[in-house]
Amino acid sequence: MKRILSLLFLALMYGVGVSMGADSTLRLDYVLGVSAGKPVIMLHEAVKMPGWGGRCVNLDSAVAQGNGQVRVTDARSGKLLYVQPFSTLFQEWLCIPGSDTVGVSFEHTAEVPLPDGDAVVELLLFDRRGDVECRHVTRYSPADVMVREVKRPSVPMTVLHESDHQSPISVAILAEGYTEAEMERFYDDARKFVDEVLGYEPFCRYADRFRFTAVALPSGGSGVSIPHDGLWLDTPMGSHFDTFGMERYLTAPRIWDMYTAADAAGAVHIMVLANTDEYGGGGIFNSYALTAAHTPQVGPVAVHEFGHSFGGLADEYFYEGEVIDDTYPLDVEPWEPNITTLADFGSKWEADSASEMYEGGGYRAKGIYRAAYDCRMRTNESPAFCKACSAWLERMIRYLTEE
């Protein structure tokens, strides 16, 4: 009895600690930019809303390092409550020589389970060596009247693939550049994506853990912007080709609006289908994937981009000859699970011998290795993910859905 009273006394004195409500979301919208040659993070707005579309298990462990992390800790005890790794287009921009002298900004959104007490939300960006390069701290209190409560937006949508899992992996498929009159075509495109991705190992084996919802966000005009053709259109997420001067790199700058659309579906995994027959796409870990919906290669490209956004998988392709990218320092083991510099190979996939590795990957012909000759993350012709990617995706699915 004395022990129980002591514990009760301690609980009253210190509180029982903050926990994460699985039924509400804290959303933080940030601006990422460069000031005086250094990356900076600024908070634009924090809101809370009912429902939580992310994982309900393994909240305090990160499955991968990512290029950045959002971390929530108990303000009093410092205990880690939630961590989510991610990558950003902003950090790809920082890899371009001279970018630190240009005053541009990028939107970023982090969604975390709503803490039921005082908490600290940190947004961290890592440099190419994995060290913290930039940090932003927000102190959250349930009593803070400036964190307003918003409703989840109401957008026409259809659940295309339902899950009866207790905490399913919820994916929002967003329409980009489809007019109201083209929504049947969007739903058709979204169904094709679901069929395609669930046709791959390991997704097919875990299909019952996924929920896919198609969100019919209408666009004023039909198509997306193609700057190299002089075409600019006003679409919900502002998607355009020619990102960083690469014609095929299709990205969307309006991240806040994108997340608002995904919020309608209660999802944190985002696949954007762009209503265009121009070849291209892009995928950013725990941010979003975007693909042109009407090219002959849409199936493999969409799954490749989903491999980036859902799995954090690296590109396994590379350019012969001159190294044109400095994304991966060769003396650091990349956190991405499907390429290695051999700097810390023991942390990577199991290979019976070095002969099972192939040189070239992560945009470099030399010094970076992949686990198989071909893979969905290397070419559109590969019929499947390689063994390293498949094993990792299975690990990711189980991490998101199992204790």
CB of 269 to Zn ion, least distance (A): 20
Query: Between residues 217 and 389, which has the closer beta carbon with respect to Zn ion?
Result: 389
Query: Candidates 48-56, 235-243, 294-302, 367-375 — which segment interacts with Zn ion by CB under 5 A?
Result: 367-375
CB of 338 to Zn ion, least distance (A): 4
Q: What's the rounded Cα separation, in Å, for the pair 158 and 191? A: 10
Query: Between residues 185 and 387, which has the closer beta carbon with respect to Zn ion?
Result: 387
Query: Candidates 67-75, 199-207, 257-265, 384-392 — which segment interacts with Zn ion by CB under 5 A?
Result: 384-392
CB of 64 to Zn ion, least distance (A): 15
Torsion of CA 286, 288, 289, 290, to 10 degrees: -170
Query: Which residue type occupies 397?
Result: I
Q: 287 burial class (0-12, 13-18, 19+ CB within 10 angstroms)?
A: buried
What 8-state DSSP symbol labels residue 337? T
**Does the footprint of Zn ion cover residue 368 (CB under 5 A)?**
no
Q: How many residues bind Zn ion (CB under 5 A)?
A: 5
Closest residue by Cα to residue 213 from 279, 281, 273: 273
Q: 81 burial class (0-12, 13-18, 19+ CB within 10 angstroms)?
A: buried
Q: What token pair was written down for 253?
A: 């700058």
Q: Which helix (H) or strand (E) holds 185?
A: helix 183-197
CB of 290 to Zn ion, least distance (A): 20
Closest residue by Cα to residue 321 from 368, 358, 363: 363
**Does the footprint of Zn ion cover residue 271 (CB under 5 A)?**
no
CB of 233 to Zn ion, least distance (A): 34
Q: What share of the chain is helix, strand, coil (3-state, %, to 5)?
A: 25, 30, 45
CB of 312 to Zn ion, least distance (A): 12
Query: Candidates 52-60, 115-123, 283-291, 389-397 — which segment interacts with Zn ion by CB under 5 A?
Result: 389-397
Q: Do the Cβ atoms of 100 and 94 come closer than 8 Å?
A: yes
Q: Which of 377, 393, 396, 397 binds Zn ion (CB under 5 A)?
A: 377
Q: Which residues inside 324-353 make contact with Zn ion, applying CB under 5 A?
A: 338
Q: What token pair was written down for 181?
A: 């009159």
Q: Which of 357, 389, 396, 400 binds Zn ion (CB under 5 A)?
A: 389
CB of 276 to Zn ion, least distance (A): 27
Query: Between residues 184 and 359, which has the closer beta carbon with respect to Zn ion?
Result: 359
Query: Between residues 121 and 386, which has the closer beta carbon with respect to Zn ion?
Result: 386
Query: Candidates 112-120, 150-158, 272-280, 388-396 — which segment interacts with Zn ion by CB under 5 A?
Result: 388-396
The total of other beta-carbon atoms located within 10 Å of residue 315's CB is 21
Q: Which of 386, 393, 397, 400 binds Zn ion (CB under 5 A)?
A: 386
Closest residue by Cα to residue 140 from 71, 56, 58, 69: 71
**Does the footprint of Zn ion cover residue 375 (CB under 5 A)?**
yes
Question: CA end-to-end span of the chain, whole Å?
Answer: 33
Residue ranges that bind Zn ion, judged by CB under 5 A: 338, 375, 377, 386, 389
